[in-house]
Structure 1
Amino acid sequence: MRATLLSLLSLANGALATVQGFDISHYQASVNFASAYSAGARFVIIKATEGTTYIDPTFSSHYTSATSAGFIRGGYHFAHLDTSTGAAQASYFLAHGGGWSGDGITLPGMLDLEGDCVLSTTATVAWIKDFSNTYHASTGVYPLLYTNPSWWSTCTGNSNAFVSTNPLVLARYASSAGTPPGGWPYYTIWQNSDAYAYGGDSDIFNGDMAALVRLAQG
Structure 2
Amino acid sequence: MTHVHRPRLARRLLAATLAAAATAATLVGLTATPAQAATTPGVDVSHYQGSINWTSVRNAGIQFAYIKATEGTTYKDPRFGTNYVGAYNAGVIRGAYHFALPDRSSGATQANFLASNGGAWSADSRTLPAALDIEFNPYGATCYGLSQASMRSWISDFLNTYRSRTGRYAVIYTTTSWWTSCTGNWSGPWANHPLWIARWASSPGTLPAGAPFWSFWQYTATGRVSGISGDVDRNYFNGDRSRLIALANNT
TM norm structure 1: 0.92
Residue 169 of structure 1 aligns with which residue? 196
**Change beyond 3 A, Cα 1:14–1:108:** closer
The more displaced of 162-171 and 34-43 is 34-43
Gaps of 5+ in 1: 1-11
Q: Which residue of 1 aligns with 2:28?
A: none
Please list the CA deviations of residues 31-84 of structure 1 after superposition, one character each: whole Å capped at 9, or x if unmatched. Answer: 222222112110000000011111000100111111111110010000000010
Say whether 1:94 aligns with 2:115: yes
Q: Give 1:130 deviation, angstroms.
A: 0.3
- The residue type paired with residue 115 of structure 2 is L
RMSD, matched Cα: 1.1
- Deviation of 1:206 (Å): 0.3
SS of 1:194's equivalent?
Answer: strand
What amino acid maps onto 1:45 in structure 2? Y
Query: CA–CA distance in 2 between the matches of 1:166 and 1:203?
Result: 18
Q: 1:54 to 1:102 in 2, by over 3 A?
A: same
Q: Which residue of 2 aligns with 1:125?
A: 152
* Structure 1 residue 108 corresponds to structure 2 residue 129: yes
Q: Which residue of 1 aligns with 2:214?
A: 187
TM value normalised by structure 2: 0.80
Which of 38, 44, 53 is the equivalent residue of 2:59?
A: 38
1:206 partner letter? N
What code does the residue aligned with 1:178 have?
G
Aligned length, in residue pairs: 207
Q: Which amino acid aligns with 1:32?
A: N
% identity of equivalent residues: 47
1:104-158 deviation line (CA, Å, top 9, x unaligned): 1100000000122021111101101000000001111110000011100000000
SS for the counterpart of 2:164 is: helix
Q: Is the 8 A contact 2:130 2:171 kept in 1?
A: yes
Q: Does structure 2 conserve the Cα–Cα contact (< 8 Å) formed by 1:152 and 1:182?
A: no
After TM superposition, the runs of 4+ consecutive aligned structure 1 residues lying more than 4 A away are none
**Paired residue for 1:215?**
247
| d(CA) in 1 for partners of 2:209, 2:93 | 27
